[in-house]
A and B are shown apart, each in its own frame.
Chain A
Amino acid sequence: MKLEANIPSGPLAQKWDKHRFELKLVNPANKRKFDVLVVGSGLAGASAAATLAELGYGVKCFCYQDSPRRAHSIAAQGGINAAKNYPNDGDSVYRLFYDTIKGGDFRAREANVYRLAQVSGNIIDQCVAQGVPFAREYGGLLDNRSFGGAQVSRTFYARGQTGQQLLLGAYQALARQIGLGQVKMFPRTEMLDLVLIDGHAKGIVVRDLVSGQVSSHAGDAVVLATGGYGNVFFLSTNAKGCNVTATYRAYKKGAAFANPCYTQIHPTCIPVSGENQSKLTLMSESLRNDGRVWVPKTKGDKRAPSQIPDSDRDYYLERKYPSFGNLAPRDISSRAAKEVCDQGRGVGPGGLGVYLDFADAIGRLGEAKIRERYGNLFEMYERITGEDAYHAPMRIYPAVHYAMGGLWVDYNLMSNIPGLFVLGEANFSDHGANRLGASALMQGLADGYFILPYTIGHYFVTAKRPKPATSHAEFKKAEAEVQALTQRLLSIRGRRTVLSLHRELGKLLWEECGMARNDAGLKRALERIPALREEFWANVNVTGGPGELNQGLEYAGRVADFMEFAELLCLDALTRRESCGGHFREEFQTEEGEAKRDDEHFAFVSAWEHQGSGKPPLLHKEPLVYEEVHMSTRSYK
């Protein structure tokens, strides 16, 4: 496998400009001859599908949901970053770039991140033009707020529903193209395999989730924008349907999977309440603008929060990180919460929680102001917990949230399989080992609106490959494999439900490969995952048939992939013998308990190549060469 990052030469600030000039163009009249298959309709997928269609390409777009408007980008609450410097507080493209690189603990690719910062402003302009109702000041101009890991206010927002509004903007742009006949939309359709012809990605095999029919689609390129794999942990902030199937099956067809161990644990989620919990709900990080995080100073202090005087409280983020305080980045805040809970100072049932307290902010600004800023989040908290956070502090605990790892891509967002492009959370490229808040929306839209539309044309012009017919033997083979897998899942009729097996896998991963990892635990996980996988294939019970709407069957296929992917995740975590960002290895920490990177040995992207089932994957390394920034020790003190 050859990993060629294709980073343009020249000064960092001029790379993208220079590259855009060097990219080959497709004549407007010729664009209609090319068909693109876009899988996923979140921010990245919908923006890409709409933009490619506007340019004149033929587009087919697929999503498992009943409508493209429901993709999980919709759940992002807090905001989207952009280096507009509207507040005049010292922001710039370079600062956004540097904050993102540093926030990612110097494990992202410099050139990609710089480009992301460069196009960030265009995203805001585009969204405003689409009618996204961003928050505004009384003068009519756009409002900004602060987010973790930054000392400037560069986050644009639409109440606590920024993801929803940005997705609806992209969805409407997509709907317009569907109405015009430029995009053919396939909702309730799941991609189950990638088809390669002469080494190029030329199609996909899908299952219609209503009729159960398996069919093939051929195109000139395939774009995966299928999100992250957080649900491998069973409990996460992801939607129930989020899965690794599209990217994992592409991996099995030869696409390199990069940095799977970089998973983000979000610090502000509602704590787990019971055994049957199906998902965790995030409370936007923006709450940390006004909320103060604390636990009692002494272990086992069972007094009600209002009975604990300030002198007996430990505002541990403010104490440990005075310059960033409650806005310390996610990985650091999550670990700090785990640390105080491990010390027995956690609050709430089971001691797995910390307080997020708004009393000071309400005292300073009044309840009305807090209600205006976070009203919907407080309501959401009350619906789930039955508690009123205006009068008692919220209880929060970290939960699995985002996957920085994903399929390996080059500067053009193309994977090592020519013709296979990967966008948004599904790729690995921009967030390094830790993503900053409000950067996922930025990346998804940057990839879809402003990067892929330029780079995909170059592939068409240079690859010069004919579009195959779906009668090609490779399609028939892939369809047969998909059907065989379906039959296999339906024929076991064992004694365990898919859900119980998924929950067991998730628990194992959370314990051994969650917020803190160590050699012994990862080795234990690597022994237990294959055993659990065997149990799955021997004893799972999937009812119903293949030719109908069968949610159990859909779920079983996704969990089958998680059962394999979990092993790759743990193997990557075991191999990376350093701590960086969201990947915290207990053996590698400073005396103060901070992550200790090892730039000498681990300044590379881990890209894993599938070697066939039953064989260990092969590790390839893409060295991270920093031309512009110096890899420093990350400090938020």
Chain B
Amino acid sequence: MNLTLKVWRQKDAASPGRFETYPAPDVSADMSFLEMLDVVNEGLIAEGKDPIAFDSDCREGICGTCSLVINGVAHGGHTGTTACQLHMRHFKDGDTITIEPWRARPFPVLRDLVVDRAALDLIIQAGGFVSVNTGGAPDGNALPIPKPDAEEAMDAAACIGCGACVAACKNASAMLFVSAKVSHLGLLPQGKVERERRVARMVQAMDDAGFGACTVTGSCEAVCPKGISLAFIARMNREYGRALLLGA
């Protein structure tokens, strides 16, 4: 199939960006979206032009590196699918595809489609962990955990930290990301010990980084490639309220 791409090009964080139009000829349906971009880049390099910069690494939907807004939707709008796992069979001959970076103030554009998501790391550094040092841990089976709790914790822990939730939110809120970690650790006995301190500090770091407020529109859940549920945001709000009451 033959496609037309409208791609956001931006030299660096300080320069203004603009859309450029490129043809993408002879695209096969079995290619992934990023492989299609690889081919377009091969053509640009052959013409002596700068290739389109975009982030990717594992290309199997787990590392969370790829970060494209495709036709206005973070990751392209296929349930449970990151941009790297999106395949060209979902497009048809003659389509025009718009490709943009994550757009959110806490995620400055570094170049073209590459953004800086260090703010998400800062939130984890503030409290997204269990404070145990290596060594001296009790036997893994010393503390039984009900299977439903372990499963629900795993549902939350599946977050890949890609930031699509932020990109999709009109307020650039990171609540889905933060709530996933708060819920994962808060559901497990290991994480309950410091639950108040954790949620208070993570919310503070989220606000400090400039992420917006949550108005529960659910746009984050709709684009999340790992299906992280909005219910975790409700859980986090309860955790946060509880922490405030307890004076954390």
In the bound complex, residues from chain B placing their C-beta under 8 Å from that of A14 are none
CB–CB B161/A544 < 8 A: no
Contact of A386 among B87, B132, B147 (CB under 8 A): B87
Interface core residue of B48, B60, B124 (most chain A CB under 10 Å): B60
Give the total of B residues in contact with A, Cβ under 8 Å.
76
Give the docked Cα–Cα distance between A150 and B209 (Å). 48
CB–CB B51/A136 < 8 A: no
CB–CB B53/A549 < 8 A: yes
Give the docked Cα–Cα distance between A155 and B72 (Å). 42
Interface residues on chain A, size class? 35 or more
CB–CB B62/A274 < 8 A: no
User: Binary interface profile of B, 138-175, with partner A (CB < 8 Å = 1, else 0)?
Assistant: 11110111110010011001101100000000000000
Which of B26-34, B92-100, B228-236 lies at the binding interface? B26-34
CB–CB A125/B63 < 8 A: no
CB–CB B46/A497 < 8 A: yes
Q: Is A197 an interface residue (CB 8 A)?
A: no
In the bound complex, residues from chain A placing their C-beta under 8 Å from that of B125 are 175-176, 178-179
In the bound complex, residues from chain B placing their C-beta under 8 Å from that of A551 are 51, 53
**Closest-CB distance, B169 to chain A (whole angstroms):** 20
In the bound complex, residues from chain B placing their C-beta under 8 Å from that of A495 are 46
CB–CB A549/B114 < 8 A: yes
In the bound complex, residues from chain A placing their C-beta under 8 Å from that of B216 are none
Give the docked Cα–Cα distance between A441 and B190 (Å). 22
Give the docked Cα–Cα distance between A167 and B57 (Å). 16
Q: Contacts A133-B153, A210-B110, A239-B58: A274 and B31 contacting too (C-beta < 8 A)?
A: yes
Contact of A131 among B11, B57, B161, B190 (CB under 8 A): B190
Q: Contacts A66-B116, A133-B188, A239-B58: A54 and B134 contacting too (C-beta < 8 A)?
A: yes
CB–CB A499/B134 < 8 A: no
Which of B1-9, B37-45, B239-247 lies at the binding interface? B37-45
In the bound complex, residues from chain A placing their C-beta under 8 Å from that of B137 are 122, 125-126, 128-129
Give the docked Cα–Cα distance between A158 and B63 (Å). 16
Q: Contacts A133-B150, A164-B160: A126 and B134 contacting too (C-beta < 8 A)?
A: yes
Q: Contacts A54-B134, A138-B147, A165-B157: A72 and B58 contacting too (C-beta < 8 A)?
A: yes
CB–CB A380/B61 < 8 A: yes
CB–CB A274/B28 < 8 A: yes
Q: Is A626 an interface residue (CB 8 A)?
A: no
Contact of B158 among A47, A161, A282 (CB under 8 A): A161
In the bound complex, residues from chain A placing their C-beta under 8 Å from that of B87 are 383-384, 386
In the bound complex, residues from chain B placing their C-beta under 8 Å from that of A497 are 42, 45-46
Q: Contacts A67-B161, A164-B62, A543-B51: A499 and B42 contacting too (C-beta < 8 A)?
A: yes
In the bound complex, residues from chain B placing their C-beta under 8 Å from that of A305 are none
CB–CB B131/A131 < 8 A: no
Contact of B150 among A126, A135, A273, A499 (CB under 8 A): A135
Nearest B residue to A541 by beta-carbon distance? B45
Contact of A380 among B85, B128, B160 (CB under 8 A): B85
Give the docked Cα–Cα distance between A128 and B153 (Å). 13
Q: Is A74 an interface residue (CB 8 A)?
A: yes
Q: Contacts A67-B118, A278-B32, A552-B51: A133 and B154 contacting too (C-beta < 8 A)?
A: yes
CB–CB A69/B121 < 8 A: yes
In the bound complex, residues from chain A placing their C-beta under 8 Å from that of B140 are 84, 121, 124-125, 127-128, 134, 142, 156
In the bound complex, residues from chain A placing their C-beta under 8 Å from that of B60 are 75, 279, 281-282, 380
Beyond the given pairs A70-B161, A121-B140, A164-B62, 12 more chain A to chain B contacts, judged by CB atoms under 8 angstroms and listed by A's residue number, are A65-B63, A126-B134, A128-B143, A129-B190, A134-B140, A136-B144, A179-B125, A278-B35, A541-B46, A548-B12, A549-B114, A552-B51
State the 7 A-B residue pairs at the shortest beta-carbon distance, nearest first.
A140-B144, A172-B129, A179-B125, A129-B137, A125-B137, A133-B154, A273-B30
